[in-house]
Amino acid sequence: MPEDHFGERVAERYDGSSADMFEPAVVDPVVDFLAGLAGHGAALELGIGTGRIALPLARRGVRVHGIDLSEAMVARLQAKPGADEIGVSIGDFATTAVERTFSVAYLVFNTIMNLTTQDEQVACFQNVAAHLESGGCFVIEVGVPGLQRLPPGETVRAFAVSETRLGFDEYDVVAQGLISHHYSVVGGKLELFSVPFRYVWPSELDLMARLAGMTLRERFGGWEREPFTSESAMHVSVWEKTAAPAPEL
Ligand SMILES: C[S@@+](CC[C@H](N)C(=O)[O-])C[C@H]1O[C@@H](n2cnc3c(N)ncnc32)[C@H](O)[C@@H]1O
C-alpha cells in the first residue's frame, strides 16, 4: 500500500488551505463536464478526498463511488451533508476493486502524480479499465510537467511565495520525480508538508491508456473545453474504453 500523505494533520486543513479550489467558479465546470459524461450511469472518483467534486456531482443526480487511501480525508467527507449518498472504499486506487461498473471514472487535481512509479500509474489505468463499461470514459486533470520553466542545472522552482506561504517544487529529472514542499505559517509557527510525485507526460498517459484498452477521445487545456496548446499548463484528458487491454509481451 502506498504511503498516506493525507493524514489527520493535512485532512483537518485541506478544505481551508485549498479554499480557492472549492469555489463554484472552479467546481461547477468540472461537475458539468463529468455529469455530461456520466449520463445515466455511475461515476467512480479515484482519490475522492473530502468530496470537493463528488458531493456536488452527487447533488446533480449522478451516483458516485470513491476510493481513497486516507481515512482522515474520508472522515471529513462523511461528516458533510449528502455524504450518505456516496459509497467509499478505503484503499489504493491503483489496485482496489469495487464490485460494480461505471460509465465514467475520474482523477482530478494532479492526483495521478501521487502514484510515484510508472508501474503504479500503469496499474491505475488497468484498474480503471476493469471498472468501466464498454464505451465508458476515464478523465484525468493534471499539470503539464513544468520542465520548460526549469533552467538547465537547476532542480527547484517556486510555485507560491507570500507572507504566509512558500511552495517549492524540487525536480529529479532522471527519475521523473518531483517533491512539492509546502511551508505555511500557522498560528505564528512555520509548518512543512512535503509530498512526493511522479510527473507524467500527456503522451505517456496515452500509452498507459492504450495498454489498458482505452484510446484518447479528447484533450483540453481546461474544464471549459479550452484548446490544449503549447502554452497549456494543465490538461483535461478523456480516454474511452474501446477494446480488451493489450496482451502482455
Ligand atoms: C489532492 S487530494 C484530491 C482530493 C479530491 N479529489 C479533490 O479534488 O479535492 C488527493 C487525494 O488522493 C488520495 N490518494 C493519493 N494517493 C492515493 C492512492 N494511491 N490511492 C488512493 N487514494 C490516494 C489522498 O488521500 C487524497 O485524499
| Cβ partners under 8 Å of residue 191, min gap 6 | 183, 184, 185
Q: Could you tell me if the CB of 93 is within 6 A of ligand 1?
A: yes
What is the position in ligand 1's atom list of the atom closest to the CA of 115? Answer: 19
Residue 47 Cβ contacting ligand 1 at under 6 Å: yes
187-234: pLDDT as tens digits? 899 999 899 999 999 999 999 999 999 999 999 999 999 999 999 999
Instruction: Point out the ligand 1 atom lying closest to the alpha carbon of residue 124.
Output: 19
* pLDDT tens profile 113-160: 999 999 999 999 999 999 999 999 999 999 999 999 999 999 999 999
Question: Residue 183: how many CB atoms within 10 A of its CB?
Answer: 15
- Predicted confidence at residue 1, as pLDDT, reads 82
- Mutation probe of ligand 1 site: the residue of 4, 69, 74, 88 with most atoms within 8 A of C-beta: 69
Question: pLDDT tens digits for 152-170?
Answer: 999 999 999 999 999 999 9
Q: Specify the ligand 1 atom closest to the Cα of 52.
A: 9
Collapsing DSSP to helix, strand or coil, 141 comes out as strand
Give the three cell numbers for residue 22.
472549492
- pTM value > 0.75: yes
Residue 152's alpha-carbon distances to 113, 124, 220, in angstroms, are 23, 32, 29
Does ligand 1 come within 6 angstroms of the Cβ of 6? Answer: yes
For 16-23, the CB contacts below 8 A with 24+ separation are 17/184, 18/52, 21/52, 21/109, 22/52
Report the candidate in 163, 109, 175, 107 with the shortest Cα–Cα distance to residue 138.
107
Q: Whose CA is nearest to atom 6 of ligand 1?
A: 48
Mutate to test the pocket of ligand 1, among 68, 125, 200 (most ligand atoms within 8 A of CB): 68
